[in-house]
Structure formats: C-alpha cells, structure tokens
C-alpha cells in the first residue's frame, strides 16, 4: 500500500506513452531481451549466454572509449584522454567481476549443454581482437577466423593496420621533444611491437621528472592501469575455465587453460613495466 500511495502522489509522472518513446523503446529492450536463445533445455545455459553477451557490450564501450582516447592523444588533448582511459579501467573491472558470476557454474552443469556450443568459443570474439589490436597486440593468423563475415573481416583488417594506443603515446613522447628512434615513430604498425631503448629512456626520464612531465606521466600510469586490469581479466578467465572444464581442449580448438596461461606473458606496453626495475 505504501508503494501505491507514493506513486499516486507523484502527479507529474508520465503514464500516456501511446505516441511517445518509452524507456524500453529508447534501449531497444524488445530486441535486447529476446536475444538470449538457449540451444538446450538446461537452466544454466541462460547464465552462460548472458555473461558473454554482457561482456561483449562492455567491450563495445571499451572500444568506443579507446578510439576516442587515441584521437585525443593525437590532437594533444591528454586530459580528455585521461578520463576516457580511466573509464576503460573501470569497465574492465566490471568484466573481471563477471567471471565471479560465471564461476558459479559447476563442471557437471556446464557439461549438460557444452556440446550444443559446437565449435563456438569466446576465442572467436571479434571485439576482443579489436581491443587487442587497439592495444598493440596483432597476430595475422587470427584474421582467418572471420572470413565467414566480410564486414567484420574488413573492420578487423582496418584496425590491424591502424596505429594503436601505444603508437599514439609514443608519438606524444616524440612531439614532446624526446629523441625517439625515427624507425619506431614511423614503424609499420601492423608488425608486432618490440621494446625499444629510446622509448624506454624517454619514459624513464618522464618518471624521474614527474613535475616537468606530469601529463606524460599521467598518460603512462593510465596505460599501466589498463594493462594491469587486462592481465587480471586474462587471469580470471584462465582460472574460471580451469575451474569449470579443467584442462580439456576449448570448444574453439585451442588448448584451453594452456593457451590462456601463455597469453599471460604478453605485454602491450613493455617499457612501462621494464623501467620500474630501473627507477
């Protein structure tokens, strides 16, 4: 009764939406909430589907923010990029905690519907690949996975050949007057990035003269935040997979836990980690 009285005293609440947009209309909730289609009758497949769909939505927002941050850095607007990159780290924390929910799925429960996935796997997430590309980790062989969809493949190829977040940061170092090796500034951004002495020396000077290079220092720390969170995401992914399927081969054909352990050794911004030993 209390709730009914509370609502009835709000005289200005809109209730006539015959010709107006509603909350559900704005968010396309009919389409969104009808997209959870189980392939089995098992209760817990709904959990599995929703966790992965929610993660894809968060990844869409990460890409939205990272692309804008790269543009801001290239335009010399580092403070604007800081807000976007800080938001990325906060989003990453949401995805990390999603594994806590998925880990409530037991091995016995998962095996009841695993065969219905066929060869579908999170390994095939094209948005995850776009994030890796934007952060500088590029491997050409993964593009073969997406030949089924020319539009997605085109999007991935464009991102593969585009400068990433670290390329923009290194360019900012160069524009600030640091003697970055021209071969790094003008490198083929589709090639795997390799640590460079001139980049490490520049970042080291930034960290040793924080007051003088405050914005570059802040940029570096935002990059470290993102990589740290990305590695935590990878670790929680690996442990959740190990908890649910042990060391079985992944549905997509990968070695499963073995593959996920190997990628923990990959670095996006290697000099920012190496210099910590030298400060």
Residues of each annotated binding site for substrate: 48-52, 110, 114, 251
Q: Binding site for heme: which residues? A: 237
- How far, in Å, CA of 111 to CA of 113, rounded? 5
- How far, in Å, CA of 147 to CA of 57, rounded? 23
Q: Binding site: which residues? A: 48-52, 110, 114, 237, 251
**How many Cβ atoms from other residues are within 10 Å of residue 100's Cβ?**
10
Question: Mapping DSSP to helix (H, G, I), strand (E, B) and coil, where does residue 195 land?
Answer: coil
Buried/exposed 204-231: b ≥16 CB within 10 Å, e otherwise = bebbeeeeebeebbbbbebbbbbbebbb
Could you tell me the sign of the dihedral formed by the alpha carbons of 143, 145, 148, 151, in that order?
Answer: negative
**How many Cβ atoms from other residues are within 10 Å of residue 144's Cβ?**
8
| Cβ atoms of 135 and 165 closer than 8 Å | yes
Complete DSSP assignment for 94-126: HHHHHHHHHTTS-HHHHHTTGGGGTT--GGG-H
- How far, in Å, CA of 164 to CA of 170, rounded? 10
What are the residues whose beta carbons fall under 8 Å from the beta carbon of 57, sequence distance 6 or more? Answer: none
């Amino acid at each position: 009764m209390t709730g009914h009285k509370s609502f009835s005293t709000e005289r200005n609440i809109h209730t006539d939406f015959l010709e107006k947009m509603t909350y559900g209309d704005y968010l396309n909730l009919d389409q969104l909430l009808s997209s959870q289609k189980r392939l089995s009758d098992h209760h817990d497949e709904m959990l599995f589907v929703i966790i992965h769909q929610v993660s894809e939505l968060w990844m869409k927002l990460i890409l939205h923010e990272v692309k804008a941050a790269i543009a801001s850095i290239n335009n010399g607007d580092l403070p604007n990029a800081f807000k976007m990159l800080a938001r990325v780290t906060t989003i990453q924390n949401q995805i990390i905690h999603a594994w806590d929910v998925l880990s409530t799925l037991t091995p016995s429960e998962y095996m009841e519907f695993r065969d219905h996935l066929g060869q579908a796997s999170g390994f095939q997430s094209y948005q995850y690949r776009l994030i890796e590309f934007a952060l500088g980790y590029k491997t050409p062989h993964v593009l073969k996975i997406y030949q089924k969809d020319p539009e997605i493949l085109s999007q991935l190829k464009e991102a593969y050949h585009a400068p990433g977040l670290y390329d923009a940061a290194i360019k900012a170092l160069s524009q600030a007057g640091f003697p970055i090796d021209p071969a790094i500034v003008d490198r083929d951004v589709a090639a795997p990035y390799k640590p460079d002495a001139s980049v490490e020396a520049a970042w080291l000077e930034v960290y040793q003269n924080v007051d003088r290079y405050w914005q570059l220092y802040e940029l570096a720390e935002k990059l470290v935040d993102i990589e740290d969170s990305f590695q935590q995401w990878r670790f929680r992914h690996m442990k959740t997979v190990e908890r649910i399927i042990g060391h079985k081969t992944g549905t997509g054909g990968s070695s499963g836990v073995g593959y996920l352990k190997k990628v923990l050794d990959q670095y996006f911004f290697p000099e920012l980690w190496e210099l910590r030993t030298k400060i």
